[in-house]
Structure 1
């Protein structure tokens, strides 16, 4: 498993899409939209600039994680998964290793948007809160890495890309990463609280406020993560079955 992890890490570092989708886009969006918020505004219990910083950092992290995860549909098409299946590596560890590598693609967005927030709006959290923000938002990407893998293992490249985009866009918008849920109608606010994207961003908002993750938020993220993990393992096994 260690050799497979090293192999996947080298592939991740060489992927130029990581910079484009998970860093440049969220940073530019944050610079534009955070300038529209008033200095005294508060969202999700924190300053509006910090709240938008967390939301767009999560947006970029989600883009990076899903794009890397769904790239496995290309690997499936060229027969790489079939070759991997004949190795001694079981399906479960193979999916976990790939998911862990995918989560690393979300880290650059959190770092880049965080630096932008510090420079543009003087968001000052202290070393401890910055570290907690980075750590929790990295760990929080795991359910989405598993979702990306489930899409990639389960669908052909022609279908994986549009399904991946729709999942990314729908979860980002409805989960409050782009537009704060405070502006949503009541029905959509309740829906947002049940989605993993809102609970993912909530990890960051509570870190900024100096609070521990909420039990309900962790419960929602864990439930979605387990569901996506089961789906990813099933899709992996199904994709490598010889016909």
Structure 2
């Protein structure tokens, strides 16, 4: 347990120094939130509901990006710098190393959620009950598991440039097609059909429903759970194949 705690603390310190975290997880989502709620005229029939809805979109957008890009690119950097090879010759178990990275990333997610929620309250006076704030934050934290798994999958790549390019495309594609930038209902039918099968849509959907005073749909929970298991198994398989080589 002491080894795990020390590894978690180290991962948190390293992430706070990462410029990708500051940009993708904080600056960009808050900027988008301000633009799409105060600059762009969305003609929303209920501005207060739209402000709360889009705040949850940008919160899940932030956590998804941090999971895929910050974690994934950092893991590739560690591989290219020989850090992962060094870890294998230490007494630190391999699974502790990966779990600590995901746990450390989750602690950073708590910071992101808190900062973006505060931004929403200050910019647009978003008002939810204490229970709704808590449940939205909890959903954003727990629902990030499939994207953390995708981050570890990105981390299996051999080149930082390749990982950065693919993670950027994947991140933006999931955000746009998952309805995080604009409601899926106003998109073309084909985009809607694709979006309903993406983990990003179900991730955002749970937060949107909680902000409306409802509970997440069981389908969203099931989708995220299945995606998590499948991607983690795939990541584990690829890691073992690489270690065998």
Across the two proteins, how many residue pairs are aligned to each other? 239
Give the TM-score normalised by the residue count of structure 2: 0.88
Deviations 1:207-233 (A, max 9, x none): 212222221100000011111111222
Deviations 1:60-84 (A, max 9, x none): 2222222221211110011111121
- The match for 1:206 is 209
Rounded Cα–Cα distance in structure 1 between residues aligned with 2:46 and 2:189: 21
Q: Does 1:29 align with 2:32?
A: yes
Residue 6 to residue 120, structure 1, CA distance change in 2 (3 Å)? closer
Deviations 1:14-58 (A, max 9, x none): 32432222111111111111122345348xxx9111111111121
Rounded Cα–Cα distance in structure 2 between residues aligned with 1:185 and 1:59: 21
Matches within 5 A, 1:5-84: 5-35=8-38, 36-38=41-43, 40-41=45-46, 47-70=49-72, 71-84=74-87
Most deviating of 203-212 and 88-97: 88-97
SS of 1:118's partner is helix
Picking from 87, 98, 115, the partner of 1:95 is: 98
Most deviating of 1-10 and 205-214: 1-10
Matches within 5 A, 1:142-221: 142-221=145-224
Most deviating of 120-129 and 10-19: 10-19
Structure 2: runs of 5 or more not aligned: none
Structure 1: runs of 5 or more not aligned: none
Rounded Cα–Cα distance in structure 2 between residues aligned with 1:183 and 1:89: 50
Deviations 1:131-183 (A, max 9, x none): 11111101111211110111112332231111111111111111111121011
Conserved? CA contact 1:67–1:164, under 8 Å: yes
SS of 1:47's partner is helix
Rounded Cα–Cα distance in structure 2 between residues aligned with 1:142 and 1:98: 12
Rounded Cα–Cα distance in structure 2 between residues aligned with 1:225 and 1:161: 21
Conserved? CA contact 2:56–2:207, under 8 Å: yes
Matches within 5 A, 1:228-243: 228-241=231-244, 243=245
Rounded Cα–Cα distance in structure 2 between residues aligned with 1:3 and 1:207: 35
Residue 9 to residue 109, structure 1, CA distance change in 2 (3 Å)? closer
Conserved? CA contact 2:80–2:158, under 8 Å: no
Q: What is the CA RMSD across the aligned residues, in angstroms?
A: 2.1
Rounded Cα–Cα distance in structure 2 between residues aligned with 1:203 and 1:155: 34
